[in-house]
Amino acid sequence: MSQTSRFSLDRRSLLGGAASLLAAPALVRAQAKVLKIAVLLPRSGLYAQAGQSCHRGALAAPKVLADLGYAVELVHVDIESNADTARTAAEKAITEGANCIVGAFDSGLTLAIAQVCEQRQVPLVINIAAAPQITEQGYKYLVRNFQTGGQLVTNGLRLIKEISAATKVEFKSAVFVHANDTFGTAQRGAMDAIFPKADMPFPIVESISYDPRAQDLSVEVTKMRGINPDLVMVVTRAGDAIKLVRDMVRQRFEPKAIISPGSPGLYDEEFYQALGPLSDGMMFNLPWANPKSPVTQALEASFKVANPNNRFAVDSFNAGFTLEALMVAADAFKRAGTTDGPTLMEAVRKTKIEQHVMIGGPIAFDAKGQNTAIGTAVVQNQNQTPVVVYPADVAAGTPALPLASWQGRK
């Protein structure tokens, strides 16, 4: 064989090999032994407190997942509380080999990521985000293991009635106070639609919105104080919840109870650190980690090793839902045996996980990708720690109402 012919053959072989390599990624992805998950969270910016809390759950997750027989590789990405950054980060993560995305706490950020995942045919498993439209727009490549805003409000109101009956503390009037951001506005819409049908034993006398970026909430508290309701229902984040309570203390406004029918803020470490004993007594009716679940106990043990400077009790809501989202993805991969997007997504939709962290039934999804079996509990701040106080089968403490006076707290 001549040198020329040998070159031609080698060139043909080389080109053939290159063609095989170009075709290989799909095959390699299909035969992958580890699922690569990009965890997109707002660890800086407006939602940094919650994003970092979710991140701590993701850091604790690998040990729990490995012990459950799941093989995953996690890539952690800060999306900076910015929708454009979230969209770009999702594109980059998928291009760099992520087989699935988990995130993103805030509804607006989650919707930005959902658009990318839909285009790229990569599953998005939502850990936390409540805006109803997420599962109402026909996305085929997402599921949500979290309650919608309507579910949060419905369950939150029901538990207000039940905790009132259990403690024999009656509410004759209420004010609803909410941030005017995407989540707060959605919760206001849900409240307006659901409250008239909820057969509550008191009226909402006033709904008050506020800008969470305001320096203080003295005007809003003055308005509340003039109305003087027994119950203040709030939809907050940590920063504005701190401002709200401080202005209540300054103006000596003392309702019988401050209860969130489904929002963050009142249980964040930032809230406890800023207010100390003034943070005690607040209630929030939310999905929560079941302290009696073996998976919760395993997560708590791993969390203490991964995050020795943080309290699991405070992070258990964010950490629990983040672990569950990762479990959904890992379990689907184990059953599907492939990272091929459509096949993996089909397995995600067929999820049924009996043993998990959060209160409620098995993790499973309806035709829209929504888990409808998530439970809700009454959690109260006691000694600057969130404690499940109702219902009795999951309670770790006893509810204390009415709210203790601001004066005299140490």
User: Tokens 């708590």 correspond to what residue?
Assistant: 300
Tell me how many helices (H) and strands (E) the chain has.
12, 12
In terms of domains, do 58 and 84 share one? yes
CA 195 to chain centroid, in Å, comes to 24
Q: Domain total for the chain?
A: 2
Q: What domain range includes position 295? A: 32-147+291-375
Answer whether residue 232 is part of any domain. Answer: yes
**What does each of the 410 residues of the chain score in pLDDT, given as a tens digit?**
333 333 333 433 333 443 333 344 444 444 578 999 999 999 999 889 899 999 999 999 999 999 999 999 999 999 999 999 999 999 999 999 999 999 899 999 999 999 999 999 999 999 999 888 999 999 999 999 999 988 988 999 999 999 999 999 999 999 999 998 877 888 898 899 999 999 999 999 999 999 988 899 999 999 999 999 999 999 998 889 999 999 999 999 999 999 998 888 899 899 999 999 999 999 999 999 998 899 999 999 999 999 999 999 999 999 999 999 999 999 999 999 999 999 999 999 999 999 999 999 999 999 999 999 999 999 999 999 999 999 988 888 999 999 999 998 86
User: Structure tokens of 78?
Assistant: 């800060």
Q: Evaluate whether 313 touches 379 at the Cβ level (below 8 Å).
A: no
| Greatest extent of the chain over all pairs of C-alpha atoms, in Å | 100
58 and 140: one domain? yes
Q: Is the peptide bond before 60 cis (omega within 30 degrees of 0)?
A: no
Phi, psi of 42 (to 5 degrees): -85, 80
Q: Is 123 helix (H, G, I), strand (E, B) or coil?
A: coil
In a domain, 16, yes or no: no
My answer on whether 266 and 386 are in the same domain is yes
pLDDT, position 27: 43
Q: How many CA atoms lie within 13 A of 312 on its CB side?
A: 24
In 154-277, DSSP assigns E strands to 174-179, 204-210, 231-235, 257-260
* Same domain, residue pair 275 and 158: yes
Q: Domain check: are 43 and 116 in the same one?
A: yes
Sequence-distant (6+) residues with CB within 8 A of 276 are 384
The pLDDT of residue 6 is: 34
The answer as to whether 154 is a domain residue is yes
Give the model's pLDDT for residue 245.
96
Domain presence at residue 397:
no
Same domain assignment for residues 270 and 343? no
pLDDT for the residue numbered 31: 59
From the list 1, 14, 113, 58, the residue with the least C-alpha distance to 306 is: 58
Q: Which of 249, 257, 304 is nearest to 274 (CA)?
A: 249
CB-CB neighbours of 198 under 10 Å: 14
Residue whose tokens read 């650190």? 273
Same structural domain for residues 214 and 316? no
Claim to verify: residue 154 and residue 264 sit in the same structural domain: yes
Identify the pLDDT of residue 32. 76
The reply to whether 396 falls in a domain is no
Q: Is residue 127 part of a domain?
A: yes
CATH of the domain at 333: 3.40.50.2300
Transcribe 31-43 into DSSP letters: T-SSEEEEEEE--
Q: Clarify whether residues 382 and 250 are in a common domain.
A: yes
Helices (H), 288-340: 294-306, 312-336
Question: Do 173 and 276 have their domain in common?
Answer: yes
163 and 239 in a single domain? The answer is yes
Task: With respect to residue 1, please indicate whether it lies within any of the assigned structural domains.
Answer: no
pTM for this prediction: 0.83
Residue 238 confidence (pLDDT): 86
Same domain, 279 and 296: no
Burial degree of 189 (CB within 10 A; 0-12, 13-18, 19+) = middle
Domain contains 235: yes
